Amino acid sequence: MLNAGKALKVSIYISEGSTHHGVATYSSILDFLFYRGVSGATVTKGIAGFGADHHIHTSRSVEISDRLPLKIEFIETREKINELLGKLEELVGTGMIEVQETTVAKPAQKTKPKDDIPPAHLKIEGKAKMMRIYIGEADRWRDKPLYRALVEAMRANDIAGVTVYRGILGYGAHRRLHKDRALHLSHDCSIMLSVIDTDEKIQAFMPIVEQMVEEGLIVLSNADIIKYAYRAEGIDQAEAVQSSPNLPMEGEQRR
């Protein structure tokens, strides 16, 4: 959370129709900022403007309405922004990033809840780290399923891949038996997320996992990548890895 005093304001200018790996650029940027702990960010939409190509874009022109300018703005400490700028430059692409010195006169306060409920990836070869996260299907994080929030956080932090498994039978620390019964839509089954990436990437992501998983089990182990050969024709290797949602799979690894 920001404190009163000196800070930096970042303004990011992009086109409404721009995408990053098939996802709207502004959405990818918001996800990245959110899961890196930025205090807050706002997206505003212009009604007219032009950019480096000197083409006028206006909301009156229906055929180019998706080319209207968007501005994403947030305020953070200088140290935090220095950590984020490299990835932001990659996400913005042909857009523009402006950084200004500013002063926080009064930092925003968290709204009190009504109750007390708390770059393109390279091919991986050789040594890696495997992380398994065991949680409950009913676990939530900020009003969304915890397993989905974890997947979004991993994607925003460039983790190479994650697969979510739903258990059909098991028990945990509370010794309560959970099972998936026929014709019964249970929401109390166990969920396992399996992740493989370099040791550096996994260790850097661990503080986020520890913040999000309040009750669960996190297991780390060494892994040897023995096959990671997906390559779609017509795209480069880095893009192929990004476009494969379930890599690396457990059948392609050994511990």
**Under CATH, which number does the domain 5-104 receive?**
3.30.70.120
Rounded CA-CA distance 249/192 in Å is 13
DSSP state of 124: P
Residue bearing the bigger pLDDT, 71 or 168: 71
Contacts of 161 (CB under 8 A, 6+ apart): 195, 196, 197, 241, 244, 245, 246, 247, 248
Structure confidence by residue, pLDDT tens digits, 61-117: 444 455 678 999 999 999 999 999 999 999 999 899 999 999 988 887 776 655 555
Residue bearing the bigger pLDDT, 172 or 42: 42
The structure tokens listed for 117 are: 């409920």
CB 135 within 8 A of CB 191: yes
Q: How confident is the model at residue 189 (pLDDT cuts 50, 70, 90)?
A: confident
3-state secondary structure (DSSP) of residue 74: strand
Q: Where do the domains of the chain lie?
A: 5-104, 126-254
Is the CATH number 3.30.1490.190 carried by domain 126-254? no
Cis link prior to 69 (omega < 30° from 0)?
A: no
According to DSSP, the residues that pair with 225 across neighbouring strands are 126, 253
Q: Provide the residue type at 183 as one letter.
A: L
Element (H, E) at 7: strand 5-15
Percent of the chain clearing pLDDT 90 (strictly above): 44
